[in-house]
Amino acid sequence: MSTAPERIAVVTGGSRGIGRAISTRLAADGFTVVVNHASGTDAAAATVAEIEGAGGRALAVQADVADEHAVAAMLDRVETDHGGVDVVVHSAGRLALSTIADQDLEALDALHRTNIRGTFVVAQQAAHRLRAGGAFVGLSTSVVGTQVPTYGAYVASKSAAEGMVMILAKELRGRDVTANVVAPGPTATELFLDGKTQEQIDALAKVPPLERLGRPEDIAGVVAFLVGPDGRWVNGQTIRANGGMV
């Protein structure tokens, strides 16, 4: 009796928040998941343990997404050990909130190194390595559309990321590889909730017509659809997963 070939998914920033939910969901869907992390070794190990405890397959690999040599080495290891790469989800990102007038430019440079250069590096490496039937998914933000004050630097970086992935989808013509972006609205992660009062959280939860914050699992479900068999006809799109925010 033949067995199905191993399917490999690499999730950058895969050890925390939305990235962790994506990692666990793809593992539940049968992927061997490479949980990439920049520095959170304990969180990555905990994510791998959670996946393995549920009967899935995972490994943690450290790499700075903005370092092309580190990303290439990570994917070289995956290809050597597992034979190829089928899915790359670029969830790693950095947030710095400030008005444009007061934005610290060193913080801006650090944010853009991760969010713009990092997206470009990961997309570039994925373009060389994804197998036929594969998928690339980038993560953006619905604030690109809602344009909330103090998000100027972040929105600039995520707008750039959206544009890159739309072009990538066209450049992968003939490869049977899709490229899409998921842009979450307010999602109840540790990073999002940190520093907010309960009053602020309650107000944000009322913004979508569904009147709640998103859950990391909500975003992971959209990603799982895009990289699964039912999402093969969706390509070159930004999906705003935000409960109906305008």
Active site positions, annotated: 154
* Distance between CA atoms of residues 121 and 69, nearest Å: 9
65-69 LR contacts (CB < 8 Å, sep 24+): 65/12, 65/13, 65/36, 65/38, 65/90, 65/92, 65/114, 65/118, 65/119, 65/121, 65/122, 66/113, 66/114, 66/117, 66/118, 66/121, 67/121, 68/121, 68/124, 68/125
Amino acid type, 181: V
Q: How would you label 34-73 residue by residue, b for 16+ Cβ within 10 Å and e otherwise? A: bbbbbebeebbebbbebbeeeebebbbbebbbbbbebbbe
Tokens 């799109």 locate to 237
